[in-house]
Structure 1
Amino acid sequence: MSTSTTPDTLSRRVLRYAHAQGTGRSQFPTPAQVAEASGPLPDGAAGAPGSTLPYGTTELLERAAFPAGRVAGADRPAERALLAAFGLQRAELTNPYFEHRALPSVRSLFPVHAFLTGEGPARVLDVHRHALTELPGTARDSARRILLAGRYTRLPAFYGPLRGTLTELEMGISLRALAVGLELFGVTGHLTLPASGEALSELGLAEGEWTWPLTVDLPGATPGTGSGAQPPETREGRGGDRLRAAAPADPSLDQILAVNRTQSTLGEAAPAPLTRAVPDDAAARELSWAEVLWERGSGRMPRGLTGMAGRLRQVPEGSLTGAAAWAAVPPPGDLLRRVAEHVDVTVAVQATDGFEDGVHRLTGGRLLPHRPGPGALAALERDYGYNLAPGNGCDVRHASAVWFCSVRQRELVAELGPGAWTLAQYVAGWITQGLCLNAAAHGLYARPARAFDGLAVQRPLGLAPDETVLLSVISGTPRFNGLPLDLRL
């Protein structure tokens, strides 16, 4: 191994990358790079043949009570699970980012795509066509699998290296959404973490634009045995053009890709069953699963303005204990769980029955006082990156809770290696999607954000000086209700 790729060198690169996006973000400014984002589908998929997805998934979910209800005996359950996880829910016509699904996404761009293999060429979930669209030139694959891959270039280039973190956080969000969908329809999958780009090559996706995929083997497949598809070199002229496509000129992509590919240092992880994504004690109002998925939202403003506005009100204890139950469900597999042990969950609370105002920490599935006292959320608003302005709403001070996932990245990388940084994003995303669903079940919005000043929030939250915030979730009562257009089929 050359000295440029030793584990110590990789660890230093990852730590600098992590520091530049967290506590040290302002010390490493990235010049704005304005460029067109990639399209909503992988190259070559738009207009390709597709198979229509089943209708009536919402009606099935309407008969399943939240949280314990399940759908038994549905036809094409894996495809219905995809719709429950990623399907269109509504368009908010007064929202500048109007497309809403059961999971949040930066600017409603949804850079993470779900692919299905087996029974012919690989296909990508195309929610706008309500179809699985073929990826031209991919080999026929007998293994029935769902793969999740994030396209960094889907996000605007002015995000710079932050596109890496945002996309990988959405990978974790998407994994939890998929796991919930599979659980609802009684489908047992097995998750395999990537140790190479083999799956990316099999899908014919450009190496310079995509994350390495997460693979979920469906019933009937042998977990962890690969697809058995023809290798990429035998598909020359049938799909290799997408594989060979040059990435757009963007120096930040090299850094993003280098960090994502350090997952190879983690080695092969055993396939892990996706058996539990919903907590047993997630009490809520009397709602169906269809209603919870419909109500998930990130906060609204009127008249096409950006940001969020809320109103402070006393909320029931279950809104917070339910959120803690969702956050405490471990991600699948030993390796992700070892990473999760390094991810701390802290929440600033106010006006919640059964809880003193102040900062609490999740310990052993319970929220324990960490820094009690009023005023924590007002202090946090001063450290939020999108201030209240004539064209933007900022109402952190009126939220019920603001959640933070944080990690001591030096300890994480020292114990588990440089690839653990990417896995920590997956864990934070996994937790975040649980918080979002719980909030929807209690009539609250939940807004994931990377906009808090990492250094400034350490003091009010009582974080350690070397603790980096991975992601936050602002949750409260919405002040505005936009005009929604139902997009469910």
Structure 2
Amino acid sequence: MFDRSPDTAALRKVLAEVYTHGHGKDVRGGGTAPVRTPPTTGGHRFATVGERGPLAGAVVRVLTAALGPRRWEPWNPYNDHRAHPSPRSAFLVDVWLVERGRRWRVDPVRRLLSGPAVEPGFDSTVRLELTRHPERLTAGYGPVADALSVLESGHVLAALAEASAGLGLAASLDGDALLLGPALAAFADHATPPDSMEVERVTGTEHWWRRVTAPRSSGPYPVGVAPDPRPLATQTMHTLVRAALRPPSGSPAGDGSLRHRLALSRVAGHPDGWYAVAGNAHGSGSGSTVERLVGGNALDQVQSAFSYERAHADVSSMHVAWVMTADLRAAATTGGAAGYRAVLRTAGAVAQHVASAAAVAGLFCRPVRSVFEARLEGAAGAPAGHDFVYLLLIGRTRFGGFAYDLSGEEPR
């Protein structure tokens, strides 16, 4: 007899949601216009708030680096670029600064905190809470918009964690919120980026600041996404793997729920084929390895599973196609809808760390969900109980284009 217990009914509901988030919907346009957040008309300027002390100064720099506009590309239909990607530059996640029950919405474009008239005091731990807004995508996305917004929340949390680590702040994760504590002693008297010898002695800060401020790219769009064909260095590929396995404090990337498979092509020292990522997120040395599973043109297999034409993205010419899968039924069984969303959030965070490491190496990293899932799961050798979660397309940028640099300091 079919089990109709409440737990089974709840599980069926979550799995039905997982199914609607899969491939099969037309998300390339159509539907009603997206919903936009009304512009902030007033608030507390970052420049003023940052003068309240070392913690305040560091926090506003975290918000600026992780959330603020980086460049504007006039030739790109989605031309607002920040430290983290967002589908169609819709930016589906808002960040709120919360202190003693009061909430200020972060406006990273105007560099304002919008909310109560009183400024936050920054005299204790600062809480950054995330809210998701899938309604900002066009109606043509349907239920997929919700999955994309959860993935983006992982990107945002990871970017905030990298920026916090780059400024020596203590960061810890609390659900969809990040808690930031006072700066380390070596960084307590100023809130400048870690570019002096004094701050470089704080282990790791320079590394993380370089990561969060690198010029991230998802690949030039107007001429299609195709990389420079020159081989990728072995060390570069291992750097990307370490970035996935060794996240900073406060990132949701390290919960171990994902399985990673890499399709490699033209990577020095690694014959073309499928590889498994193995390693320890907290181990010594590189902390990561890749093990060859099967040879052949794995990128061609990924191309055949990609739902857009080769002219839009020449996947077979990439250097790395990074496939993430997970046991979504197990996640839903143990954690319900929250368990499923936690897997998506983790995947978004891992993707963000890989993307920032790729940016430092001069590579683009394009996260996508538009695949024929069963076809890609089979090519990647996913276990029978695993479902596709996220795909990263990585290569060295071949084409460039004029862009306005938006990353400078706020005018006085």
Sort the TM-score into its range (normalised by shorter chain): 0.7 to 0.9
| SS of the residue 1:419 aligns to | helix
Q: Secondary structure at the match of 2:131?
A: strand
Q: Aligned letter for 1:80?
A: R
Please tell me whether residue 400 in structure 1 is matched to residue 319 in structure 2.
Answer: yes
The answer to which of 444-453 and 402-411 deviates more is 402-411
Determine the C-alpha separation between the residues in 2 that align with 1:334 and 1:8. Answer: 32
Verify the 8 A CA contact 1:89 1:102 in the aligned structure 2. Answer: yes
Provide the residue aligned with 2:276 in structure 1: 361
Q: AA paired with 2:16?
A: R
Determine the structure 2 residue equivalent to 1:163: 145
Counterpart residue number, 1:35? 32
> Which stretch shows the higher mean deviation, 125-134 or 317-326?
125-134
Deviations 1:409-437 (A, max 9, x none): 12333344442101001110110001101
Secondary structure in structure 2 of the residue aligned to 1:190: strand
Q: Which moves more between the two structures, 379-388 or 397-406?
A: 379-388
Aligned to 1:18: 18
Deviation at 1:127, TM superposition (A): 2.1
> Is residue 429 from structure 1 mapped to residue 348 from structure 2 by the alignment?
yes
Match of 1:329 in 2: 246
Match of 1:98 in 2: 79
CA RMSD of superposed structures (Å): 3.5
Q: Is the 8 A contact 2:65 2:163 kept in 1?
A: yes
- Partners of 1:408 and 1:466 within 8 A in 2: yes
Looking at structure 2, the residues matched to 100 and 30 of structure 1 have their Cα atoms a distance apart, in angstroms, of: 21
Does residue 176 (structure 1) correspond to residue 158 (structure 2)? The answer is yes
1:254-273 to structure 2, matched below 5 A, reads none
Change (3 A) 1:166 1:49: same
Report the CA distance shift for 1:322/1:310 in structure 2 as closer, same or farther (over 3 A). Answer: same
Map residues 289-328 of structure 1 onto 2, 5 A cutoff. 289=209, 293-302=213-222, 307-328=224-245
Amino acid at match of 2:391: S
Helix, strand or coil at the partner of 1:188: strand
1:75 is displaced (CA, Å) by 6.4
Equivalence for 1:257: none
**Contact 2:262–2:321 (CA<8 Å) still a contact in 1?**
yes
Amino acid at match of 1:14: V
Counterpart-to-counterpart distance in 2, 1:100 and 1:374: 35
- Counterpart Cα distance in 2 of 1:316 and 1:419: 39
Deviation at 1:485, TM superposition (A): 0.5
CA distance in 2, matches of 1:425, 1:53: 31
474-483 vs 140-149, which deviates more?
140-149
Provide closer, same or farther for how the CA distance between residues 382 and 125 of structure 1 changes in structure 2, counting only shifts above 3 A. Answer: same
Contact in 2 for aligned 1:405/1:469 (Cα 8 Å)? yes
Q: Aligned-pair distance for 1:342? A: 2.7
Alignment correspondent of 2:193: none
Contact 1:117/1:141, CA 8 A, preserved across alignment:
no
1:226 is aligned to none
CA contact (8 A) 2:368 2:390 kept: yes
Q: Does residue 442 of the first structure (1) align with residue 361 of the second (2)?
A: yes
Deviations 1:290-318 (A, max 9, x none): 5863421000034xx6x422232211112
Task: Output one character per residue of 1:256-304: Cα deviation in whole Å (capped at 9) or x when no partner.
Answer: xxxxxxxxxxxxxxxxxxxxxxxx999xxx99945863421000034xx
Q: Which residue of 2 aligns with 1:60?
A: none
The answer to whether the aligner puts 1:89 opposite 2:11 as a matched pair is: no
Alignment of 1:16-415 (within 5 A): 16-22=16-22, 25-26=23-24, 34-39=31-36, 41=37, 46-54=39-47, 76-118=57-99, 121-134=102-115, 144-193=126-175, 214-219=176-181, 289=209, 293-302=213-222, 307-329=224-246, 340-365=255-280, 366-389=288-311, 393-415=312-334
Displacement after TM superposition at 1:480 (Å): 1.2
May I ask how many residue pairs the two structures share in their alignment? 374
The runs of 4+ residues in structure 1 deviating greater than 6 Å are: 28-33, 139-143, 331-336
Deviation of 1:367 (Å): 3.5
- Unaligned 5+ segments in structure 2 are 183-202, 281-287
* Residue 475 of structure 1, aligned match among 379, 394, 411: 394
Q: 1:484 to 1:334 in 2, by over 3 A?
A: closer
Seen in structure 2, the aligned counterparts of structure 1 residues 117 and 411 have a Cα distance that, compared at 3 Å, is closer
CA apart distance, 1:401 = 0.2
Q: 1:309 to 1:191 in 2, by over 3 A?
A: same
Contact 2:165 2:204 in 1 (8 A): no
